[in-house]
Structure 1
Amino acid sequence: MPDNPDAQRSCSSSEVPPVSAERKTHTRSLRSYLSTSIRDGHHSDLLLEAELLLLSFATGIQDATTYPDYQCFASNQTGNTVIIAVGLSGIGGDLFSLRTVGVSLGAFVAGCYMMGQIGNLFGPRKRIWLFISNVIQTALVYAAVAIQWSVSSNSESIAMGVIALLAFSSGGQVAMARPLNIPQITTAMATAAYADLLVDPRLHSLHNRQRNRRFLFLVMLATGSFVGAFAHSRVNSAFALLLSAIGKTIVTVLMLFNVSECAEANGQIAAQNSIGRTENRASSTRR
């Protein structure tokens, strides 16, 4: 007996129900949430400051790990620039590899340029871009951890591979942090923070948020350096880098929860409307 085509169509249509309006609404809401820009450092945002401070801690771990292993830095490109000058002058001897230092500087510049310009296209403070940027940075650090954990050789090619991953990640991190408008927490460079902290005319004021940011940045960078150095000496460099990667993973997740600009604007509008209603009621009462 031949099958009933109408029954087949009815059955197939019942097997694949249409997407509900509620699901579409949730999808649009999620897309809208991810496309909003987060509030920058011109406002008091403890979560954003905590995220940048944790990234500074992770940076300290990385530099304290890469220097004893490869005699160069993943983030401190001032130091790498000086090392290159010393090496090219011929007075460095065998203290370091110019190629490794050059790879670090080049990868940092490439990471800063590429991630910064892509961020400009997306919107550097868009939530989705901040999340993607942090995912990329963190994945590169995990890749460096995997190489160090699985490869026992200390060949120059391995060194350049690890340094390239970490330096590119660091460049992307700095490029991500700059548009957030908290220049006191660069997540990488300490020299300017030391100088700005000490010459601040309001250094001894009781309430000075910029001073507090600089001080905490230096503390977190130094603490990360100590943690990285001890983890490297007591366990190994792969373990130290793993700690850095875990810190960056936490920041990646937290980036999904920062206050958005539109939420703040809506709050201000609601406050203004509330004030307006209060004034109207007071005016009506007087009449």
Structure 2
Amino acid sequence: MELRIEASPQTEPRQNIESSRRQNIDFEERGIYGPSRLDDREKKSLQLSRASSVVTFGQLGKIGDVPLRSRASSHFLAEIDTKRTDLILIVCGFVSGLVDGLAFNAWGSFASMQTGNTVFVALGVSGQPRYPAFLWAKSLIAIMVFIVGNIFFINASRLLGPLRRSTLIASFALQTAALLAATLLVHTGVVAPKLEDPVAPIEWIQVIPLSLLAFQAAGQIVSSRILAFDEIPTVVLTTLLCDLLVDGKLYVRPWGANPKRNRRIAAFLALFLGAMTAGGLVKVSGMSSALWLAAGLKGSVTLVWFFWREKRDGEVENEAGGT
């Protein structure tokens, strides 16, 4: 269906052509006259006038959609401003505390801190500890998934553009999905929502949520590297504590004079408080409550990326970690 809109005359020559030559044109179309009394220039002007006055509903929709699509594309493909993104990574450190506090307490392995899992695998070579049996196998699976997750998130970020808004949204959405899947497995009872008995036979179903948690942890640490805050690894504290204490400006005042020190302290406290919160929640309301909280926080971070300020031309990034 076409909507025909008769265009208003824009110029005096066109008005004269429309008013004084209309009858001649009608006669010419019916074959009453032989050659047209209008010259070629006047004919072309009339044809353009008539053609430009026809607008379809589909065209009107496209005209309205183009600016919106363009703005949306520009918004999601823009690089985000990394200033203050250290606050997001500190929240992620709290999530790591929640996840690892739960994983170790419930299943005897870590999801994020692969140093501990490596020790368990090494002990397994000599058949230790005797209980729980096959602890080394669960730890080995967690390590392998963590490595695969790092490879996946690193290459996906490079392919899509590491600091693009759409890349960060996709990364954290995938991390949130992994957390939600693990949460639902525990909440629905597919994985027993109780602490593991060290002397009981191993429940291999536990490997599924443990792997999901290790995968999301890989995406989290890759994000800390992409955002160039190496002082906030979000999943480990050993090097963080060493870097904090070796800092020659550790005791400098005022407080804002050493942002790297401040971030390290905040990251340490966040992970500690996260693990402590996980222990309290498991004791009071069960395993799934800690996982629900972790998934909610990670989902909130995903939403924040939709509205985060984009990088402006000429702006300097986080001074290698010091805005």
Q: TM-score, normalised by structure 1?
A: 0.83
Alignment of 1:233-272 (within 5 A): 233-261=283-311, 263=312, 265=314
5+ residue gaps, structure 2, are 4-54, 193-201, 317-323
What does 1:4-43 align with in structure 2 at a 5 Å threshold? 9-10=1-2, 18-40=60-82
State the Cα deviation string for residues 61-94 of structure 1 (Å, max 9, x = none): 0000000111001100011001110111222112
Separation in structure 2 between the aligned mates of residue 150 and residue 55 of structure 1, nearest angstrom: 25
Of the structure 1 ranges 94-103 and 82-91, higher mean CA displacement relative to structure 2 is found in: 94-103
Which of 192, 201, 219 is equivalent to 2:269?
219
Deviations 1:163-196 (A, max 9, x none): 0111011111111221110111111111111100
Greater relative contact order structure (CA < 8 Å, 6+ sep):
1
Q: Any conservation in 2 of the 1:51–1:254 contact (CA below 8 Å)?
A: no
- 2:175 maps to which of 129, 137, 140: 137
The equivalences for 1:138-287 within 5 A come to 138-151=176-189, 153-154=191-192, 156-206=203-253, 207-261=257-311, 263=312, 265=314
Native 8 Å contact 2:123 2:136 kept in 1: no
Q: Secondary structure at the match of 1:19?
A: helix
TM-score w.r.t. structure 2 length? Answer: 0.74
Letter in 2 for 1:23: D
Equivalent-residue separation in structure 2 for 1:153 and 1:60 (angstroms): 21
Q: Secondary structure at the match of 1:32?
A: helix
Equivalent pair of 1:58/1:244 in contact (CA under 8 Å): yes
Highest Rg: 1 or 2? Answer: 2
CA drift at 1:34: 0.8
- Identical pairs, percent: 26
Distance 2:61 2:124 in 1: 64
Aligned to 1:112: 150
Alignment partners' CA distance in 2, 1:172 and 1:30: 25
Query: What is the DSSP-based 3-state SS (H/G/I as helix, E as strand, rest coil) of the residue aligned with 1:51?
Result: helix
Distance 1:14 1:23 in 2: 14
Contact 1:119/1:176, CA 8 A, preserved across alignment: no
Distance in structure 2 (CA, Å) of the matches to 1:233 and 1:258: 36
Q: Is the 8 A contact 1:100 1:156 kept in 2?
A: no
Separation in 2 of the partners of 1:34 and 1:199?
40
Q: Distance in 1 between matches of 2:279 and 2:81?
A: 35
Within the candidate set 93, 100, 106, 1:56 is matched to 93
Q: Which moved more, 1:49-58 or 1:130-139?
A: 49-58
Q: 2-side partners of 1:81 and 1:92: how far apart?
A: 14
Structure 1 segments unaligned to the other structure (5+ residues): 1-8, 269-287
The count of aligned residue pairs is 252
Please give the alpha-carbon distance, in whole angstroms, between the structure 1 residues aligned to 2:75 and 2:2.
Answer: 38
Pick the structure with more helix per residue. 1
Report the counterpart of residue 6 of structure 1 in structure 2. Answer: none
Residues 191 and 206, structure 2, Cα contact 8 Å, conserved in 1: no
